[in-house]
Chain A
Amino acid sequence: DAGVTQSPTHLIKTRGQQVTLRCSPKSGHDTVSWYQQALGQGPQFIFQYYEEEERQRGNFPDRFSGHQFPNYSSELNVNALLLGDSALYLCASSLGTGGLNGYTFGSGTRLTVV
């Protein structure tokens, strides 16, 4: 099924390094949102991309940046990694930015910073 695909599934990085996470949205969806889910917490909104532009941003520093490509896929980049960046990173896609029919989430990328 053409659900949301994220890669890689797991990643281990060292403090100070940079990481790129990738997401392919569900077929027919044009909007991608990124979330950070720390252990025992709900997902925290990072930003949303629509028409290749960042449309909304949560309370995350500029170390977190993203991109959306013409085929609607997206990347999340995190620079100067901190131990506190260790989390499950979820990509969610939707048709349009409102998400009124619910977002479709990927299985996530588990990032561990050591």
Chain B
Amino acid sequence: AQSVAQPEDQVNVAEGNPLTVKCTYSVSGNPYLFWYVQYPNRGLQFLLKYITGDNLVKGSYGFEAEFNKSQTSFHLKKPSALVSDSALYFCASRTGAGGSYIPTFGRGTSLIVHP
């Protein structure tokens, strides 16, 4: 069975500093990995994905994520945080081609960016 772990319930960072939100996965075969963001009282918004190719993927709003197969990680990063980045972030995984295409979500990490 596949699983996704987000080891930090909350991440605090000062505005202008780099941010990292951690995610590790357990998926058989080659995983497809995703990051979503959820603002209060809103649905999830797709940020970026890793399917294959370059381990560093770039997404919306200046976010990027690095796929590390040896560490089974897919950490979300941004070079300079904004107060408006404060939200709940979810990592999701699914098996690659031929497997179940339903994503499994982590529990979420609350990102708080302080002015």
Tell me the dominant secondary structure on chain B's binding face. Answer: strand
**B48 to A, closest residue via Cβ:** A102
- CB–CB A105/B45 < 8 A: yes
With A42-B90, A42-B105: A56-B100 Cβ-Cβ less than 8 Å: yes
- CB–CB B101/A97 < 8 A: yes
Tell me the dominant secondary structure on chain A's binding face. Answer: loop
Residues of A in contact with B, size category: 20 to 34
Contact with A98, one of B36, B43, B101, B104 (Cβ below 8 angstroms): B101
Residues of A within 8 A of B107 (CB): 40-42
**Which positions in A face B, CB cutoff 8 Å?**
4, 33, 40-45, 48, 56, 58, 90, 92, 97-108
**Which positions in B face A, CB cutoff 8 Å?**
4, 32, 34, 36, 41-46, 49, 51, 90, 92, 94, 100-108
